[in-house]
């Protein structure tokens, strides 16, 4: 997509899964299952995939898998997508590394770069904006407010106001897991009059309410239009149906008691999958466990052996899967998984 097409696509609001990493028991890249995951997201109706992000495991870089993982997703989307699907690449590190990763993604055919700022904990706002501008020269920028518990840093409203003035900013993933900081981003984007920057939730603890709430801002209510989420790496077809249901309500959605109950159920499910009880230590393994139960992954292996399910986490995932069948898509996956794995 060119940048105009990309803006239009993102503003329409989509489910964008944060793509996991499929590994063998020897912790090598499982290309067959990696492609199967991408096929699952396409078949579910996802409007994009984010690759090389936290859910893909930041260690994918030190293990040398990043180019292959980016290429596998891009090739699968190019060959098999039947509707527009934005390719978003994660980039990390200080400017030299982040620019290199954005350039690699551009050469492979990605549309935008989701930039994590966790590697620069002591940088000033001016230094961070210069960093973001340099990366955006390679690919349009998808800003990212990552919660500190998994490697992010606190970013003030003044930073977001400056970022919102970057010409090649196309969207922001808001994932501080904090309502005050979420509103900081919305207010900053509204303050500078950017109605061409799409806001996406990354607040896995508050997904439905983010999508339902007309966020207050000086220029009037501002909407979060979609989500780029690790939670949406599982049960993706149900996430797509849920977002379509919300979008069908128009600009003034009505949250009845049933919808609020579903919002609470999704937060409860996320707490189990993301291991909130243990400060998110098992979040990636938890995603893998859901996909393993469905047959998409062979195991829950992560690149770092210390990253595994916490004690009791598998039982918690089994509990929420049984308690909230309306959130799961086991039947959909069971019907198609053999084809995706071919």
Q: Please give the pLDDT value at position 150.
A: 75
Instruction: Give the number of domains in the chain.
Output: 1
Residue 23 in tokens: 């590994």
Task: State the pLDDT confidence band at 112, using cuts at 50, 70 and 90.
Answer: very high
Question: How would residue 111 be classed by pLDDT, with cut points 50, 70 and 90?
Answer: very high
Pull the structure tokens for residue 276. 């909130």
pLDDT at residue 164 tops 80: yes
70 closest CA partner among 43, 100, 93: 100
Distance in Å from the first CA to the final CA of the chain: 28
318 domain-assigned: no
Percentage of residues of the chain with pLDDT beyond 90: 91
Query: What is the domain extent for residue 153?
Result: 3-251+331-341
153 φ, ψ (degrees, to nearest 5): -140, 155
Q: Residue 151 maps to which CATH number?
A: 3.20.20.70
Task: Examine the pLDDT at 255 and tell me if it is beyond 90.
Answer: no
**Per the confidence metrics, is the pTM higher than 0.75?**
yes
Is 158 a domain residue?
Answer: yes
* DSSP calls for 116-184: --TT-TT--HHHHHHHHHHHHTTS-EEEEEE-GGGT-----HHHHHHHTT-TTEEEEEEE-S-HHHHHH
At 216, the pLDDT band (50, 70, 90 cuts) reads confident
Strand runs (DSSP E) across the chain, as ranges? 15-17, 48-51, 86-91, 112-115, 141-146, 169-175, 198-201, 226-229
Bridge partner residues of 18 (DSSP): 50
- 217 pLDDT exceeds 90? no
- Look at the block and give the residue holding tokens 């060959």: 79
In percent, the amount of the chain with pLDDT more than 70 equals 100
CB 184 within 8 A of CB 154: no
Q: Is the pLDDT of residue 252 over 80?
A: no
> Is the model's pLDDT at 221 over the cut of 90?
no
- Parallel/antiparallel/unpaired status of strands 86-91 and 112-115: parallel
Reading the block at residue 85, the tokens are: 């699907």
Q: Please determine, for residue 147, whether its predicted confidence score (pLDDT) is greater than 90.
A: no
Residue 46 lies in a domain: yes
How confident is the model over 270-298, as pLDDT tens digits? 999 999 999 999 999 999 999 999 999 99
- pLDDT at residue 260, as a whole number: 93
The mean pLDDT value of the chain amounts to 95
Identify whether the C-beta of residue 125 lies closer than 8 Å to the C-beta of residue 154: no
């Amino acid at each position: 997509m060119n940048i105009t097409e990309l803006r239009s696509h993102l503003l329409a609001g989509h489910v964008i899964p944060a793509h996991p990493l499929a590994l063998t028991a020897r912790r090598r890249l499982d290309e067959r299952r990696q492609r199967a995951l991408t096929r699952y997201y396409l078949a579910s109706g996802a409007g994009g995939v984010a690759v090389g992000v936290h859910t893909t495991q930041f260690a994918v870089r030190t293990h040398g898998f990043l180019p292959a993982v980016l290429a596998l997703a891009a090739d699968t989307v190019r060959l098999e997508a039947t509707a527009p699907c934005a390719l978003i690449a994660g980039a990390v590190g200080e400017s030299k590394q982040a620019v290199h990763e954005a350039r690699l993604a551009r050469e492979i055919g990605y549309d935008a770069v989701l930039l994590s700022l966790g590697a620069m904990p002591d940088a000033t706002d001016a230094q961070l904006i210069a960093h973001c501008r340099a990366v955006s020269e390679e690919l349009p920028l998808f800003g990212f407010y990552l919660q500190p518990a998994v490697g992010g840093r606190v970013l003030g409203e003044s930073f977001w106001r400056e970022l919102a003035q970057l010409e090649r900013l196309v969207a922001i993933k808001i994932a501080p897991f904090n309502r005050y900081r979420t509103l900081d981003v919305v207010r900053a984007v509204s303050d500078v009059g950017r109605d061409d920057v799409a806001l996406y939730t990354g607040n896995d603890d508050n997904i439905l309410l983010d999508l339902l709430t007309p966020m207050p801002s000086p220029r009037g209510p501002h909407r979060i239009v979609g989500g780029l989420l690790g939670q949406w790496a599982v049960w993706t077809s149900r996430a797509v149906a849920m977002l379509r249901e919300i979008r069908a309500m128009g600009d003034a959605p009505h949250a009845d008691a049933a919808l609020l109950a579903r919002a609470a159920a999704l937060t409860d499910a996320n707490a189990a999958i993301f291991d909130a009880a243990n400060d998110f230590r098992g979040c990636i393994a938890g995603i893998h466990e859901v996909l393993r139960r469905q047959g998409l992954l062979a195991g829950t292996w992560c690149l770092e052996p210390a990253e595994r399910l916490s004690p009791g986490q598998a039982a918690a995932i089994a509990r929420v899967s049984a308690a909230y069948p309306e959130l799961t898509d086991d039947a959909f996956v069971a019907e198609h998984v053999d084809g995706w794995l071919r």
